[in-house]
Structure 1
């Protein structure tokens, strides 16, 4: 029984140390709303074969945060799928690295009340940073919380642009 208690204490100590190291390592990346959004886009982006920093990705999110892609199912109805950050890594991480993926914000609308902020962030996606034409566009609806010290991503809910559902002009850059 003593060995089990010792193991549990050592595990808890190790988790605490790792969390403190992450806080020190990534604090600047969640200091402002801009730095948090920029980090969110940067951490999933990279050339084909480039490993992503999944520790940083997870650091952006509050406990129980969800990533919620939407799209039509086989019957033609719009549906939402709910994933944790770990689920997202499991389902999309290898695809991002195998194909190359750069998601770039092209427009942002921000609404804030107190410590909560909602960002409508229009994006374009490319397979390489050198690409000039996106293969996909859409809008990320990002909910964030400022806890007094840092920004946390609470949820990301997104939809890709389609011919039948183009991005409205108010969510595109002004030329």
Structure 2
């Protein structure tokens, strides 16, 4: 009897794992990371959405090489410049709910790219809105995105960013030419 129950449980677990693997294999995100441009555009698109719209956190995490970090920087209440190191999972836990509850659209308005071999540094100026229909951004800043091309795809290695403040305006050379 115990042997039969063990075999049944093993079959259920195996079927469950196989079903999950098929489900994961069904989502092919390879086109999203095929080029540098598609990877950066996907990064912005996957965190953006109207209030109440779910984000595809599986796709978000797919963009990052294991061990990658998201690193916001800025002044704390005491005026000291600080950084916070987050994994993609940490970012989802700390910001995911807020993005959905408030609505958030981050739009790239300018990009500077430097590449050497298989590494690329992107300085990406952004504006943030609560809705895609908003005209005036509630925030601007620069994302410093480090990426790796392993010959098969692009990986986000780190995103290090800071927001624009009254004391720290975005330099003209990182804004669109108008």
TM-score by length of 2: 0.88
Q: 1:88 to 1:172 in 2, by over 3 A?
A: same
The equivalent residue for 2:88 is 85
CA offset digits 1:87-107 (Å, max 9, x no partner): 000000010000000000000
Quick one: distance in 1 between partners of 2:146 and 2:97? 26
Cα RMSD (Å): 2.1
Give runs of aligned pairs for residues 118-133 of structure 1, distance below 5 A: 118-133=121-136
- Asked if 1:68 is matched to 2:71, the reply is yes
- The structural deviation recorded for 1:75 is 1.8
Quick one: distance in 2 between partners of 1:160 and 1:66? 17
Give runs of aligned pairs for residues 1-175 of structure 1, distance below 5 A: 10=14, 17=22, 20-22=25-27, 24=28, 26-175=29-178
Unaligned residue ranges in structure 1 (runs of 5+): none
Total equivalences in the alignment: 171
Quick one: distance in 2 between partners of 1:45 and 1:12? 31
Q: 1:113 to 1:16 in 2, by over 3 A?
A: farther
- The structural deviation recorded for 1:73 is 1.4
> Where do 4+ consecutive residues of structure 1 move more than 2 Å?
9-22
Residue 34 of structure 1: SS of its match in structure 2?
Answer: helix
Quick one: distance in 2 between partners of 1:114 and 1:17? 35
TM-score by length of 1: 0.90
- The structural deviation recorded for 1:78 is 0.5
